[in-house]
Every structure is written in structure tokens, then in C-alpha cells.
Structure 1
């Protein structure tokens, strides 16, 4: 955080300093008591603090409050700023802090590809800039303040994920970051437990349109059916489309699997460039297109971006290759699971497994609420359409996808388990050196996580 004196903060939020020195420098911010981890933190709260003893090691603490404390209730070592409305004061502080920095800020949302696209942008820019970015996929709404305060005087660019758990999440992130570039990677079906319907989820993702600066740029996946439903009528900035369609500003053609990743030709205006990006799957091409379009808006040439992308390191548990049991190939995709990412993973399995026995081990799709049955049936449709040689599901809801695939005519061997207890032995019996195994789930499923670890014999296969 760029330090700020108590005196200056008091003026910014129209408060009144009633206790302590106004020369103390504020170096951290918080709006929940549990977020206070270090001294010199400004805590904005409308709740009463009772346990002052636990806060003594964190002195000096700067309390910004509208709670009517009685006289002498607050210890003398706490600096106190009284405001009419603590919530209003908090947002004044947030808006002031963001206004100090005239730098490009990218906000990314989408069902799949957020973290990878963000990491690609960060990797490209980090060649010659100091970049602030979301840590891996830690993109919860409670983290936005700390990411904003991570921007300092020497920060030259920032890139943040804006996830959707509920409607309003992207809009809320926009109040912090005020992005100059927005990206929607794709829109599948996820978090329907809070968004209720697919249309509600699309609207929640579409909030990106409202938070990008009016003179900024919006990057959209032109090939994604649901993204096409986002209302763009009010956006006055620059819209850039990525994809394979001829109308795209950044278009990919001649997409092919290379030895260690994807290769394709990118077309922009009258120029063509060859791109190599680590990581398998056509979805990785879309991630790269979005990243290249974003950095191009910041002045990075396509050849320079392409050079940096060659050294990008794929994220753990995102379609990583390992040697598995019985000298098989293990494709670990246990970072997250949606129908969008499942489709991508099955396509990679089929491409890399050409000429081999293809086995898919798939766990439950979470955060679906009452849509759980329907979405798992849709997953079954994907399995039937794309196909594998052996299907194994783990979990009660995952069985729905297996049953629906069979109902549609899927006639390969199918095994459904409530837990992972018997899966390892089954795989040990049916896989060999001519087998590729996809294990697909999310980071919160201990059963999938443990099974993936058990199946790995060696570190990930080299990507160079």
C-alpha cells in the first residue's frame, strides 16, 4: 500500500480525529476485524469492538467508526476517527486510493480460463514491467481490497480475476479496480445455486460491461454461444473479438497440437504470426488470444507477446501430463470442473490419446444447487458425444452423468463409485503403457485429489 497519514485519511473521508496522533502512517487497510494482521492498519467498521486486549500487539491501530462508544471505552493506544457512516467512509477511501494510479488494469471473468488467461497476461507483461495480479485463483470478493492496496507507486500494470459466486460480484469488484480492460473468457453453466438460472448467470458475468472504463476496451470470445447473449448496448468503449470466426479482431487459424502445447496462426488486421503456447487443448488457444489482445492494448507487440508465451509455465492440476500407474499417461485436470472445462478436457484426452485406450475418471460438479441433476445430464451428453473407451465416475451426482450417457447410447464400459476406495484397484487392472487416463474434478474434492496423487508415478512430463 502507498502509505497515507491519519491526517490525510481524515480529510479524504470527511471524518473527525478524536484520539491519537494524526501523523501516524497507515500502511494497511481492512473492513473486517479478522483482516487486521499488522500494525498501522486502518480498520473501517460499524460494529462494536469488545476484545481490545487481542488488538494490543497490532498497535497502532487506526479505527474508523460510526459506533457510539462511551467515554474511555476505547484504549488510548488506538487512533480513532469518527465518521457519520463507516461504510460510506470506506468507499471514499477505496475510490481515493484507486484514483492515485493511472495504469492499465485488466479485469477477467468467465466460467473457465480466468486464472490461465490472467497468468499469461502477467507473464507477458512481467518481462519489463512490475505487475500486480491475483494470486493463483484466489479471487473471492473479500480479497479485492488487499489486491487494490497491493498497487504501489512503482506498479505499472495490474490484472485481476473477478469471479462470480452471486449476482453483483463482478460489479462489486469493479468498484475497487475500475478496470481499463475487461475480458469475458466464456460463459458456461456454474454457480447456479446463487444465480438461479443460466440467464441469471449470464447477466452476472455480463456485469463486466458496466465496470470497464467508458474509454476502455472489452475483449470477448466471439465463438462462445452464451457470451453472445451479453447486452453490449450501453458499452461505449472499444470491443475486441477473439476466436476463429473471420470477423474476429484477433483470429486463430491452423490450430494444431505440438509436442508440448498448442500451435496456431494469429491474424490481426493485415499481419499473421505463428504462436506456440504451452498447455494442450483448443481452449488454451482462446486463453492465449485473450492474453495477446489485452497486452496489445497496453502497447506490447504480437511478436513480443508470442516470444514470452513460449516460456509460460502451465498451472498445476490444469491438464498436466504425468507418468501414471503401469507406465500409463495421466492427465491431471483436478483444478476445477464445469461442463465447459469437462468438454475441453475430454477433447484433449481424445487428441492426446489417439491410438491409445482412453479412460476418463470424473467427479461431481459442484455449486449447482437445484440445477445439479440437469447439469450432470448435460455432462453425460458431452461424454456420449465426445466419447471415451472407459468411463469411471466418483460420487452420487457424478453417477447421473454416467447413467445419462448410457441412456443416450454410450456403449463403452462404465463404472460408477460412491467413493474412490475401489477405483485405484480397477485402474491397476485395466491400464497399461498404451493407456491415457484423464482424472477430472476440482480442488475441493479430497477423493479426487487423493486419487490423482496416488496415480502419479513420476513428476510431470517435461514441457520443454
Structure 2
């Protein structure tokens, strides 16, 4: 955080100093007690707090509140700013802080590809700029303040994920970040337990158009069916389309699998540029296109972006190819699971598993609410359409995938398990050096992640 004195903050939020000193320097902010991790933090809360003693190592702390405290209720070494309305004071502080920085800020949403695209942008820009960003996949709404305050005086660009757990999440993130560039990677089916319907989920993702600066840029996957349903008629900024169609502003052509990733060319303004991106799958090409389009808007040339992308390192457990049991090959894709990412993973299995026995192990898709049965049926259709030589499902709801795949005409061997206890023994029998195994699940599903770990060749 760019340092401010209590006196400066007091003036910004129209508060009165009722205890402490105007000269205390503030280096970080919080609106929950557990968010205080460092000294010199300003805390916005009207809750009654007990146990100040456990925070003694984090003083000085500045409390901003609209609550009336009794004399002696607060520690003497606590600085206190009194305001008339805490929420108004909080947002005055947030909006003021954001206004101090005239830098490009990218906000990214999408059912899959958010983290990868964000990391690609950060990797490209970090070669010669200081970049603030979300950390790994921590994109919850409670982290927005910390990420905003991670922008400092020497920060030259920022890139943040804006996930959708519920309607309004992107609007909330927009109140903090006020992005100049927005990206929608794709829209599948996820978080339907809170968005209720697919249409509601699409509308929640479409909030991105409302938070981008009026003179800003929206980057979209032009070939994503659900993204095309978003009404952009009132969007005043520039829309950039990425994809493989000739109408795209950044068009990928000649897409080919290589030993460690994807080779392709990018057509932009009647010129061709050769690209390589580590990581398998056409979805990785779309992620790269969105990243290149974003950094291009920030002044990075396409050849410069291409050079940086060559050294990009994707996260483990995202279609990670490793050696497995009985000299097999494992594709560990236990980062997350949606029908969108499952389709991509099955295509990678079939592409790099040519001439091998292909086994797909699929876990339960979560956060679907009453849509659980339908979405698992759609996953079964994907298995039947894309194919595998053996299908194994793990989890009660995942068995719907197997049942529906068979119903749709999937004729390869199918095994369903409620848990992973017997899966390893089965695989040990049917797996050999001519086998490639995709294990697809969620990082929060401990049985699936443990199975993936056990399937790796023990060194």
C-alpha cells in the first residue's frame, strides 16, 4: 500500500480523531479482524472487539468506526477515527486509493482459464514492469481490498481475477479495481447453486461489461456460445475478439501439438506471428490469445509477447503430464472440474494418447445445486462424443456421467466407484506402458487428489 498518515486518511473519509496521533503511518487495510496481518493497519469495523491483547504484536493499529465506545473500552495505544457512517467512509477510502493510480488494470473472469490467462499476462509484463496481481487462485470477494492495496507507487500494471460465486461478485470487484481492460475467457456451467440457472450465471459473468472503464477494452472468446448471449449494446468501449474464425481480431491458425505445448500462428492486422505456449490443448491457445491481446493494448508488441510466452510455466495439476504406475503416462488435471475444462481435458487425452490405451478417471462436478443431475449428464455426453478406451467415475454423482455415456452409446468398459479405495487395484491390473490415464477432478476433492498422487511413478 502507498503509505498515508492518519491525518491524511482522516481528511479523506471525513472523520474525527478521538484517540491517538495524526502522525501514525498506515501501510495496509482491513475490514475484518483476521485480515490484520501486519503493523500499521487501518481497520474499518463497527463491531465490538474484545481481546485486543492478542493483537499487541501488530500495533500500531488504527480503528475506523461509527460505533460509540465506552470510556476505557479501547486500549490507550490504539488510534481511533470516528465517522458518521462506516460504510460510506470505507468506500471513500477505497475510491480515493484507486484514483491515485492511472495504470492499466486487467480484470479476468470465465468458467475456466482465468488463472492461466492471468498468469500469462503477468509473466509477459513482468519482464520489465512491476505488476500487482491476484495470488494463485485466491480470487474471493473478501480479498479485493488487499489486492487493491497491493498496488503501490512503483506499480506499473495490475491483473486480477474476478470470479463469480454469486450474482454481484463482479460488480463488487469493479467497485474496487475499476479495470481498464476486461477479459471473459469462456462461460460454461458452474456455481449454479447460487446463480440458480445457466442464464443467471451468464448474466453474472456479463457484469464485466458494467465495470470496465467507459473508454476501456473488453476481450472475449468470439466462439464461445454462452459469451455471445451477453448483451453488449450499451458497452461504450472497444471489443476485441479472439479465436480461430477469420472475423477475430487476434486469430489463431495452424494449431499443432508439439512435445511440450502448442505451436500456432497469430494473425493480427494482416500480419502473421509464430507462437509457442507451454501446456497442451487448444484451450491453452485461446488463453494465450487473450493474454496477447491484453498486453498488446498495454503497448507490448506481439513478437515481445511471443518471446515471453515461451518461458511461461503453468501450474501443476493443470493437465500435467508425468510418468505413472507400470510405466504408464498420467495426465493430472485435478486443479478444478467443469464441463468446459472436462471437454478440453478429454481432447488432450485423445490427442496425445494416439496409439495408446486411453483411460479417463472423472470425479464429481461441484457447486451445481439442483442442476447437478443435468450437468453430470452433459459430462456423460462429452465422454461419449470425444471418447476413451476405459471410463472410471469416482463419487456418487459422478456415476451419472457413466450411466448417461452408456445410454448415449458409449461402448467401452465402464467402472463406477463411490470412492477411490478399489480404483488403484483395478488400474494396477489394466495399466501398462501403452496406457495413458487422465485423472480429472477438483483440488478440494481429497480422494481424487490422493489417487492422482498415488498413480505417479514412485521415484
Question: How far apart, CA to CA, are the structure 2 residues paired with 1:75 and 1:253?
Answer: 65
State the shift of 1:270 in Å: 1.3
Question: How far apart, CA to CA, are the structure 2 residues paired with 1:131 and 1:156?
Answer: 6
Cα deviation, 1:283-310, whole Å, max 9, x if unaligned, reads: 0000000000000000000011001101
In structure 2, the residue matched to 1:138 is 138
Residue 294 of structure 1 aligns to a residue in which SS?
A: helix
Cα deviation, 1:435-461, whole Å, max 9, x if unaligned, reads: 1000000100000110000011168xx
Residue 428 of structure 1 aligns to a residue in which SS?
A: helix
Query: 1:322 touches 1:458 (CA, 8 Å); kept in 2?
Result: no
In structure 1, the residue matched to 2:426 is 426
Question: How far apart, CA to CA, are the structure 1 residues paired with 2:164 and 2:130?
Answer: 27
In structure 1, the residue matched to 2:370 is 370
Question: How far apart, CA to CA, are the structure 2 residues paired with 1:398 and 1:222?
Answer: 31
In structure 2, the residue matched to 1:407 is 407
Total equivalences in the alignment: 459
In structure 2, the residue matched to 1:88 is 88
State the shift of 1:139 in Å: 0.6
Question: How far apart, CA to CA, are the structure 1 residues paired with 2:262 and 2:57?
Answer: 52
Question: How far apart, CA to CA, are the structure 1 residues paired with 2:125 and 2:35?
Answer: 30
Question: How far apart, CA to CA, are the structure 1 residues paired with 2:15 and 2:254?
Answer: 61
TM-score norm. by structure 1 comes to: 0.98
Q: Following superposition of structure 1 onto structure 2, how do residues 78-117 of structure 1 map, counting pairs within 5 Å?
A: 78-117=78-117
Question: How far apart, CA to CA, are the structure 1 residues paired with 2:39 and 2:436?
Answer: 53
Question: How far apart, CA to CA, are the structure 2 residues paired with 1:56 and 1:69?
Answer: 20
Cα deviation, 1:50-87, whole Å, max 9, x if unaligned, reads: 22222322221100001111222212111000001111
Cα deviation, 1:325-347, whole Å, max 9, x if unaligned, reads: 01001000000000000000000
Cα deviation, 1:332-381, whole Å, max 9, x if unaligned, reads: 00000000000000000000011110000000000001111110000001
State the shift of 1:39 in Å: 1.6
In structure 2, the residue matched to 1:13 is 13
State the shift of 1:395 in Å: 0.2
Cα deviation, 1:211-249, whole Å, max 9, x if unaligned, reads: 010011000000000000111111101110000111110
Cα deviation, 1:91-137, whole Å, max 9, x if unaligned, reads: 11111111111111100000000000000000100111111111111
1:51 aligns with 2:51: yes
Query: 1:381 touches 1:404 (CA, 8 Å); kept in 2?
Result: yes
User: Relative to 1, partners in 2 of residues 1:458 and 1:113: Cα closer, same or farther, differing over 3 Å?
Assistant: farther
1:272 aligns with 2:265: no
In structure 2, the residue matched to 1:119 is 119
Cα deviation, 1:23-63, whole Å, max 9, x if unaligned, reads: 00001100011111222110001211122222322221100
Question: How far apart, CA to CA, are the structure 1 residues paired with 2:41 and 2:337?
Answer: 38
Question: How far apart, CA to CA, are the structure 2 residues paired with 1:370 and 1:310?
Answer: 42
Considering only aligned residues, what root-mean-square deviation do their CA atoms show, in Å?
Answer: 0.9
Structure 1: runs of 5+ lacking an equivalent:
460-464
Question: How far apart, CA to CA, are the structure 1 residues paired with 2:292 and 2:38?
Answer: 38
Residue 317 of structure 1 aligns to a residue in which SS?
A: coil
In structure 2, the residue matched to 1:194 is 194
In structure 2, the residue matched to 1:35 is 35
Worse-matched range after superposition: 238-247 or 56-65:
56-65
Question: How far apart, CA to CA, are the structure 1 residues paired with 2:265 and 2:427?
Answer: 39
Question: How far apart, CA to CA, are the structure 1 residues paired with 2:448 and 2:457?
Answer: 16
In structure 2, the residue matched to 1:61 is 61
Question: How far apart, CA to CA, are the structure 1 residues paired with 2:240 and 2:136?
Answer: 26
User: Relative to 1, partners in 2 of residues 1:185 and 1:413: Cα closer, same or farther, differing over 3 Å?
Assistant: same
Question: How far apart, CA to CA, are the structure 1 residues paired with 2:414 and 2:390?
Answer: 6
Question: How far apart, CA to CA, are the structure 2 residues paired with 1:458 and 1:320?
Answer: 16
TM-score norm. by structure 2 comes to: 0.99
Q: Following superposition of structure 1 onto structure 2, how do residues 252-401 of structure 1 map, counting pairs within 5 Å?
A: 252-401=252-401
In structure 2, the residue matched to 1:74 is 74
Worse-matched range after superposition: 230-239 or 45-54:
45-54
Residue 398 of structure 2 aligns to a residue in which SS?
A: helix
In structure 2, the residue matched to 1:444 is 444
Question: How far apart, CA to CA, are the structure 2 residues paired with 1:52 and 1:218?
Answer: 46
Question: How far apart, CA to CA, are the structure 2 residues paired with 1:37 and 1:267?
Answer: 47
Question: How far apart, CA to CA, are the structure 2 residues paired with 1:430 and 1:140?
Answer: 42
Residue 396 of structure 1 aligns to a residue in which SS?
A: coil
Residue 56 of structure 2 aligns to a residue in which SS?
A: helix
Residue 379 of structure 2 aligns to a residue in which SS?
A: helix
Question: How far apart, CA to CA, are the structure 1 residues paired with 2:286 and 2:144?
Answer: 26
